[in-house]
Amino acid sequence: MKILVVDDETDVQMLFTQRFRSEIRNKEMEFAFAFSGEEAIEYMEGHENEAVLILSDINMPGMSGLELLKHIKLKYEKPPPVVMMITAYGDDENYNEAMKLGADDFLTKPVDFPKLKEKLKTQLI
Partner 1 sequence: MVLQTILTLIILSQLRKTLKTAGLLSKWDKLIWTGVFLCIALIVLNSILKENVQIAIWLSHALFFSLLYLIFTQKEFLSAKPLIYALLPLTAINFIEDVVKAVDHDFYKSTEDYFGTAVMFAVVWMIAMLIINNKQKKELENERLKNEEKEKEYKITETLKAALEVQVKERTAELTRQKEELEQTLNELKSAQSQLIQSEKMASLGELTAGIAHEIQNPLNFVNNFSEVSKELLDEMKAEMDMGNGEAARDLADDVIQNLEKINHHGKRADAIVKGMLQHSRASSNEKEPVDINALCDEYLRLSYHGLRAKDKSFNATLKTDFDDSIKKINIVPQDVGRVIMNLLTNAFYAVTEKKVDMIAAGLKYEPSVSIITKKVPEGVEIRVCDNGKGIPEEIKEKIFQPFFTTKPTGKGTGLGLSLSYDIITKGHNGELKVETKENDSENTGTTFIISLPE
Comparing CB distances to partner 1, the nearer of 67 and 105 is 67
- Residues interacting with partner 1, by CB under 8 A? 9, 11, 14-15, 18-19, 59, 61-62, 64, 67, 88-89, 91, 93-94, 97, 109-111, 113
CB of 64 to partner 1, least distance (A): 5
Nearer to partner 1, 37 or 81 (CB): 37
User: Residue 125: what residue type?
Assistant: I
Say if residue 96 is exposed, middle or buried (CB neighbours under 10 Å; 0-12, 13-18, 19+). Answer: exposed
- CB-nearer residue toward partner 1: 43 or 70: 70
d(CA 105, CA 108): 10
Between the CA of residue 56 and those of 22, 25, 72, 95, what are the distances in Å? 22, 23, 12, 13
Q: Shortest approach of partner 1 to residue 60 CB, angstroms?
A: 9
Q: How many other C-beta atoms are found inside a 10 Å radius of the C-beta of residue 87?
A: 20
> Considering beta carbons, is residue 52 or 85 the nearer one to partner 1?
85
